[in-house]
Chain A
Amino acid sequence: MIEAFEILFTASFWVAAIRIASPLIFATMGELICERAGVLNLGIEGIMVAGAFSGWFTVYMGGDLWTGVFVAAMTGAMFGLLHGFLTVPLGLSQHVTGIGVTLLATSLTYFTYRILLPEVTSPPKIEPFEPFAVPLLSDIPVLGPALFNQTPLTYLAYLTVAVVALVLYRTPVGVAVRAVGENPSAVEAQGISVTAIRIGAVMAGSALMAIGGAFLTMSAFNSFFFEMINGRGWIAIALVVFGSWRPGKALIGAILFAAFDAYQVRLQQITGGVIPYQIFLMMPFVLSIVALVVVARRATYPKALMIPYQKGER
């Protein structure tokens, strides 16, 4: 019992938690931007797969790590453009389109992988991002290494949250994104194109999702596997709701979920097979459902979420 409690005070536990949280932070911010603009993006799971592959493959072909991140983001933005085009000007169902984008992006990625690397039996490795200890800050006990001895992509994740929050609440483009998710006709009446804002937001959000995927192949691991996204996209969708569509709260949600995930792995080791390990695997998901029930019932969601806007329609 005491052992189970002590885990919470070990640096290695918190280091793992933040590492697990990083891709979720990117994905959650990406989904949050899309939904704030009124577009549900269920393409997230597939976009993360595509980002994980394209970033990793760029580096495998000899590209720089940051070039890989850029290529991943562009790949994501392209799938975002597809999702945006189908759901905004054409006004198709966001659910159906999103699932379609996920299936397309996933299958296209696996297909491309097989075409480009037909011979390999085990996936080739790359040199991933290395942890970088921020001087002084990383010396703080427990939290120091957790927050400040991570790879540069994790630092980019922190920065993303700050930028998303600043842009959404403090700049004209952010106000336009929020307004378009609340009442598109308010934006139209002020002479701004609803279509441009929505597609732009979906592309930007999808680029972040893809970077989230690339974190797995370029920072957490050093290779690309099938099924490696493993539902992280769906978790991000739940985290957006958990965070009541606010970047700060969504960040806390991502870290909480990741902490549960890191904790269950360590609990498995302590209990040593007395309890079936599937129970532990289930834990973060059960807890996230409980948290959703508690938190999300009071959440005020963007009013125009999932409602296509047709110009001139009354």
Chain B
Amino acid sequence: MDASRRPEAETVLRLSGITKRFGSLVANDAISLTLKRGEVVALLGENGAGKTTLMNILFGHYTADEGEIEAFGTPLPPGDPHAALAAGIGMVHQHFTLADQMTVLENIVLGTRPIWSLNLGKANARVRIRTLASDYGLEVDPDRMISDLSVGERQRVEILKALYREARILILDEPTAVLTPMETEALFATLKKLVAAGLSVIFISHKLGEVQSVADRVVVLRGGKLAGERVTDQATRRELAELMVGGQLPVNEVGPASPGEVLFELKNVSTRGLGGSALRNISMQLRGGEITGLAGISGNGQAALAALIAGTLEARDGDIVVHGQKASRWSPRAALANGLGRIPEDRHATGMIGDMSVAENVISEAYRSPRFSRLGFLDWKAAVRFADDIIKAYDVKCPSPEARVRLLSGGNMQKLILGRALDGDPDVILASQPTRGLDVGAVAYVHARLIEARDRGAAVLLISEDLDEIQVLSDRILVIHRGHLSEPSSRGELTVMELGELMAGHGIEEGASDAA
């Protein structure tokens, strides 16, 4: 890892003056970057800073409008993934590019043999994969189906794919976003072995802590421009943060909680699965004046839990208790009538209707109330007034209440959802991934509003895959694994590694219902 301190290390990759425009948006503005042999360079920046675009240009998925790329001293033709692969560049995408119903081996050899050859050369491939896997700590069985692998194992397959093609430059796009803390440690150990073997790595991230522990050099992007470049050892965390955000990092003060009564309760509830694990005999209590954080790796039942509480998924077993009374029939309408504020996981799919206006969207949960309708006809004046109120109160940047929601940025759309959900001071707030894909400013804003809701006495359930977010906001933390819940822990009781152990399923009791 000391390649950066050896000035004679060979430059393996040089990007000069890369510019890419999407319509009027300049995603990359004259960005230059070099990478040396045996070096880890972190590409740091917020969502939308242009990191992924830059790497997609390097890999040939996009063609740059201006600028040149040089790998190992020879220019790389633009817009040709095949040329990038041939030049020894391997990319591990944030969204894996694996075929699920095929084996690890098939995914790895895909495209490595002449397409019309008569066999796959499986025996040789298997041996090579095993060797690479044991050399770099990437153990995975070549004959297993991708669909049977965990997220961490799939990532190992992606890295193996690049190594199998003898990649000398490895690009990792937000590789830790989907990993548990232990898996992240293992990934970092692998990266150390790779650079020791003379490979070079570009590590894309927006997490400062990771960047500091893994990178030799940090290149910071902001708003599509190069904001700065630092040698990791010589830069402070604060300095990097300010380069990334372009100012002070906003900090929320989270005061002590004053828990009140149980406002919402699940008792021994089971459901079917919903794009992930089913819930198996879980119980939880949400108290007023408290934020309950639900941590876990994506796909362990979070989606089912959120849908259950929102009323879109029926419980197979067990009871839902609201304000101490058992709910006989739980539906989306019953949830809203019982004072549930809902911030859905996917803004675009279940949060807002992109082709409808701001006003139509903000009344979509309350259009039947006398506030917005009279004798079955909608009162558009009231709707527009309500939309205007939210736009002002939540500082939503949008042209007018009649504007289509599709035109809003992610952060502004989320503020609109927040305004709709928090209107009328709901007792129970369900916040699923409320800050996913938002920039630092918008994240701080959403957090502040959730803390505010807690302080006025609401019960907040925060479902998040971001462990930092869970730890900062939650007064009580639950961990979900394969549809089972851990025992609750209070703020600061468990370390990141201990939470990581729970996320991996160690110490979460497989429920009695399973054993029976």
Q: Are B81 and A188 in contact (CB under 8 A)?
A: yes
Point out the residue from B61, B115, B118 that lies within 8 Å of A176, measured CB to CB: B115
Q: Are A302 and B101 in contact (CB under 8 A)?
A: yes
Say how far A83's CB is from chain B's closest CB, in angstroms. 22
Q: Are A186 and B98 in contact (CB under 8 A)?
A: yes
In the complex, what distance in Å separates the CA atom of A173 from the CA atom of B110? Answer: 9
Decide yes or no: A311 and B85 within 8 Å by CB, A171-B118, A175-B106 being known contacts. Answer: no
| Most chain B C-beta atoms within 10 Å of own C-beta, residue among A171, A175, A176, A182 | A175
In the complex, what distance in Å separates the CA atom of A312 from the CA atom of B93? Answer: 13
B120 neighbours in A (Cβ, 8 Å): 170-172, 175
Q: Are A182 and B61 in contact (CB under 8 A)?
A: no
Point out the residue from B82, B107, B114 that lies within 8 Å of A191, measured CB to CB: B82
Q: How many A-B residue pairs have CB under 8 A?
A: 84
Q: Are A179 and B110 in contact (CB under 8 A)?
A: yes
| Most chain A C-beta atoms within 10 Å of own C-beta, residue among B86, B93, B99, B107 | B99
B124 neighbours in A (Cβ, 8 Å): none
B121 — nearest CB in chain A belongs to which residue? A172
Interface assignment of B335: CB less than 8 Å from any CB of chain A: no
B81 neighbours in A (Cβ, 8 Å): 188-189, 191
Q: Are A185 and B109 in contact (CB under 8 A)?
A: no
Q: Are A183 and B97 in contact (CB under 8 A)?
A: yes
Q: Are B99 and A178 in contact (CB under 8 A)?
A: yes
A179 neighbours in B (Cβ, 8 Å): 99, 102, 106-107, 110
Give residues 176-228 of A contacting B (CB, 8 Å). Answer: 176, 178-179, 182-183, 185-192
Q: Are A187 and B110 in contact (CB under 8 A)?
A: yes
0/1 interface trace, chain A 134-174, chain B, CB 8 Å (1 if under): 00000000000000000000000000000000000011110
Interface assignment of B2: CB less than 8 Å from any CB of chain A: no
In the complex, what distance in Å separates the CA atom of A178 from the CA atom of B98? Answer: 11
B113 neighbours in A (Cβ, 8 Å): 172
B389 neighbours in A (Cβ, 8 Å): none
A171 neighbours in B (Cβ, 8 Å): 116-120
Decide yes or no: A175 and B97 within 8 Å by CB, A187-B111, A191-B82, A312-B56 being known contacts. Answer: no
B113 — nearest CB in chain A belongs to which residue? A172
In the complex, what distance in Å separates the CA atom of A191 from the CA atom of B60? Answer: 10
Decide yes or no: A183 and B110 within 8 Å by CB, A170-B120, A191-B85 being known contacts. Answer: no
Q: How many residues of A contact B (CB 8 A)?
A: 23
Say how far A166's CB is from chain B's closest CB, in angstroms. 9
Q: Are A192 and B115 in contact (CB under 8 A)?
A: yes
| Most chain B C-beta atoms within 10 Å of own C-beta, residue among A172, A173, A176, A185 | A172
Q: Are B161 and A190 in contact (CB under 8 A)?
A: yes
0/1 interface trace, chain A 288-314, chain B, CB 8 Å (1 if under): 000000000000101100000001100
In the complex, what distance in Å separates the CA atom of A312 from the CA atom of B80? Answer: 11
Chain B interface SS verdict (over half): loop
Interface assignment of B213: CB less than 8 Å from any CB of chain A: no
Decide yes or no: A172 and B62 within 8 Å by CB, A188-B81, A190-B161, A302-B101 being known contacts. Answer: no
In the complex, what distance in Å separates the CA atom of A192 from the CA atom of B110? Answer: 9
A172 neighbours in B (Cβ, 8 Å): 109-111, 113-117, 120
Interface assignment of B112: CB less than 8 Å from any CB of chain A: yes
A178 neighbours in B (Cβ, 8 Å): 99, 101-102, 106
A312 neighbours in B (Cβ, 8 Å): 56, 61-62
Q: Are B111 and A176 in contact (CB under 8 A)?
A: yes
In the complex, what distance in Å separates the CA atom of A182 from the CA atom of B100? Answer: 7
Q: Are B161 and A183 in contact (CB under 8 A)?
A: no
Point out the residue from A170, A176, A302, A311 that lies within 8 Å of B110, measured CB to CB: A176
Q: Are A182 and B99 in contact (CB under 8 A)?
A: yes
| Most chain B C-beta atoms within 10 Å of own C-beta, residue among A179, A186, A302, A303 | A186
A182 — nearest CB in chain B belongs to which residue? B99
Interface assignment of B453: CB less than 8 Å from any CB of chain A: no
Interface assignment of B91: CB less than 8 Å from any CB of chain A: yes
Q: Are B97 and A185 in contact (CB under 8 A)?
A: yes
In the complex, what distance in Å separates the CA atom of A276 from the CA atom of B18? Answer: 76
Decide yes or no: A190 and B112 within 8 Å by CB, A171-B117, A312-B62 being known contacts. Answer: yes
Q: Are B101 and A311 in contact (CB under 8 A)?
A: no
Q: Are A191 and B111 in contact (CB under 8 A)?
A: yes
Q: Are B117 and A186 in contact (CB under 8 A)?
A: no
B83 — nearest CB in chain A belongs to which residue? A191
A189 neighbours in B (Cβ, 8 Å): 81, 91, 93, 97
0/1 interface trace, chain B 105-146, chain A, CB 8 Å (1 if under): 011011111111111100000000000000000000000000
In the complex, what distance in Å separates the CA atom of A176 from the CA atom of B110? Answer: 6
Q: Are A303 and B91 in contact (CB under 8 A)?
A: no
In the complex, what distance in Å separates the CA atom of A190 from the CA atom of B98? Answer: 10
Say how far B281's CB is from chain A's closest CB, in angstroms. 26
In the complex, what distance in Å separates the CA atom of A207 from the CA atom of B154? Answer: 37
Give residues 68-101 of B contacting A (CB, 8 Å). Answer: 81-82, 84-86, 91, 93, 95, 97-101
In the complex, what distance in Å separates the CA atom of A150 from the CA atom of B102? Answer: 37
In the complex, what distance in Å separates the CA atom of A312 from the CA atom of B52? Answer: 12
B101 neighbours in A (Cβ, 8 Å): 178, 182, 300, 302-303
B114 — nearest CB in chain A belongs to which residue? A172
Say how far A269's CB is from chain B's closest CB, in angstroms. 45
B118 neighbours in A (Cβ, 8 Å): 171
B85 neighbours in A (Cβ, 8 Å): 190-191
B109 neighbours in A (Cβ, 8 Å): 172, 175
A173 neighbours in B (Cβ, 8 Å): 115-116
Q: Are B97 and A188 in contact (CB under 8 A)?
A: yes
Q: Are B119 and A303 in contact (CB under 8 A)?
A: no
A187 neighbours in B (Cβ, 8 Å): 110-111
Say how far B111's CB is from chain A's closest CB, in angstroms. 3
Say how far A144's CB is from chain B's closest CB, in angstroms. 32
Point out the residue from B61, B99, B117 that lies within 8 Å of A183, measured CB to CB: B99
Say how far A188's CB is from chain B's closest CB, in angstroms. 6
A182 neighbours in B (Cβ, 8 Å): 99-102
B60 — nearest CB in chain A belongs to which residue? A191
Q: Are A183 and B98 in contact (CB under 8 A)?
A: yes
Say how far A194's CB is from chain B's closest CB, in angstroms. 11
Say how far A314's CB is from chain B's closest CB, in angstroms. 8
B63 — nearest CB in chain A belongs to which residue? A312
Point out the residue from A170, A185, A186, A188 that lies within 8 Å of B119, measured CB to CB: A170
Q: Are A186 and B97 in contact (CB under 8 A)?
A: yes
B92 — nearest CB in chain A belongs to which residue? A189
0/1 interface trace, chain B 183-203, chain A, CB 8 Å (1 if under): 000000000000000000000
B106 neighbours in A (Cβ, 8 Å): 175, 178-179
In the complex, what distance in Å separates the CA atom of A189 from the CA atom of B93? Answer: 9
In the complex, what distance in Å separates the CA atom of A190 from the CA atom of B95? Answer: 15
| Most chain B C-beta atoms within 10 Å of own C-beta, residue among A176, A185, A190, A303 | A190
29 contacts between A and B (CB under 8 A): A170-B119, A170-B120, A171-B120, A172-B114, A172-B116, A172-B117, A172-B120, A175-B102, A175-B109, A176-B110, A176-B111, A179-B102, A179-B106, A179-B107, A179-B110, A182-B101, A183-B99, A188-B97, A189-B97, A190-B110, A191-B81, A191-B82, A191-B85, A192-B110, A300-B101, A302-B101, A303-B99, A311-B61, A312-B62
Known: A176-B110, A188-B97. 6 other contacts (CB 8 A): A170-B120, A188-B81, A190-B112, A192-B115, A303-B100, A312-B62
Residues of B that sit less than 8 Å from A by CB: 56, 61-62, 81-82, 84-86, 91, 93, 95, 97-102, 106-107, 109-120, 161
Nearest 9 A-B pairs (CB), nearest first? A190-B111, A182-B99, A191-B82, A189-B97, A179-B99, A186-B97, A185-B97, A172-B113, A191-B85
